[in-house]
């Protein structure tokens, strides 16, 4: 798992994985559990210092404004809230995508595959229509997927050759569904995204 994630160059993954493997090897050599416990302790410290590798957030997802907008949008989709109009929803989505577009880290990722903000909106809508429009560990998954660097990188690489304008084709396409499910498993269970 940590080897696949090291392709994304997450220092937390590389150092944490090294601690786990080193602890396992030392435990086998010394026939004792204490090296494994020590390595887990170091991995915990690394995770605190360098950040949770499975929440490799961007400046957008760490912002208060994003979190508030994400709550509004997710609440609308999951409850069909009458207190939020379609106009308010559109405005909230526009503001989130404006934050994403301003984020240099995220923009570099989606522009590297020739995507623009409109294609990101299509991916976001596609995730909802494919069935992953849900809350996962306090994250509105479709927004978190396009606002988190590792999942955005995965989605733009997986969907680079897909015709995002053909909505019927995309929602029935097995590759698109598999990408959406992989992102869901990433957020729910921390499973690595294999590029």
- Per-residue burial over 38-73, b if 16 or more Cβ lie within 10 Å, else e, is ebeebbeebbeeeeebbbbbbebbeeeebeebbebb
| Cα angle 51, 54, 58; round to 5 | 65
- Of residues 169 and 66, the one with the higher pLDDT is 66
Distance of alpha carbon 19 from alpha carbon 163, whole angstroms = 42
67, containing H or E segment: helix 64-79
- Enumerate the β-bridge partners of residue 140: 135
Whether 127 contacts 180, CB under 8 Å: yes
Q: 94-114, pLDDT tens digit by residue?
A: 999 999 999 888 899 899 888
Confidence of residue 6 (pLDDT cuts 50, 70, 90): very low
Whether 156 contacts 113, CB under 8 Å: yes
pLDDT for 8: 47
Q: 29-82, pLDDT tens digit by residue?
A: 988 888 888 988 888 887 777 665 555 567 677 788 888 988 888 888 888 666
Confidence of residue 167 (pLDDT cuts 50, 70, 90): low
pTM tops 0.75: no
Report, in this order, helix, strand and coil percent for the chain, each rounded to 5.
75, 0, 25
Return the sign of the alpha-carbon dihedral for residues 65, 68, 69, 70.
Answer: positive
């Amino acid at each position: 798992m940590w080897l696949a994630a090291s392709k994304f160059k997450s220092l937390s993954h590389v150092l944490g994985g090294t601690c786990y493997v080193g602890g396992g090897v030392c435990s086998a050599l010394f026939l004792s559990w204490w090296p494994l416990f020590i390595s887990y302790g170091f991995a915990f410290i690394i995770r605190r210092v360098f950040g949770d590798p499975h929440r490799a957030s961007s400046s957008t997802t760490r912002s208060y404004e994003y979190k508030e907008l994400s709550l509004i949008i997710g609440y609308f989709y999951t409850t069909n809230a009458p207190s939020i109009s379609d106009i308010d929803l559109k405005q909230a989505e526009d503001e989130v995508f404006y934050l994403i577009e301003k984020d240099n880290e995220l923009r570099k990722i989606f522009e590297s595959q020739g995507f623009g903000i409109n294609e990101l909106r299509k991916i976001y809508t596609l995730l909802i229509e494919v069935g992953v429009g849900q809350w996962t560990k306090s994250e509105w998954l479709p927004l978190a997927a396009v606002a988190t660097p590792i999942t955005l990188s995965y989605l733009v690489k997986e969907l680079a050759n897909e015709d995002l304008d053909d909505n019927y084709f995309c929602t029935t396409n097995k590759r698109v569904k598999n990408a959406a499910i992989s992102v869901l498993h990433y957020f729910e269970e921390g499973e690595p995204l294999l590029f």
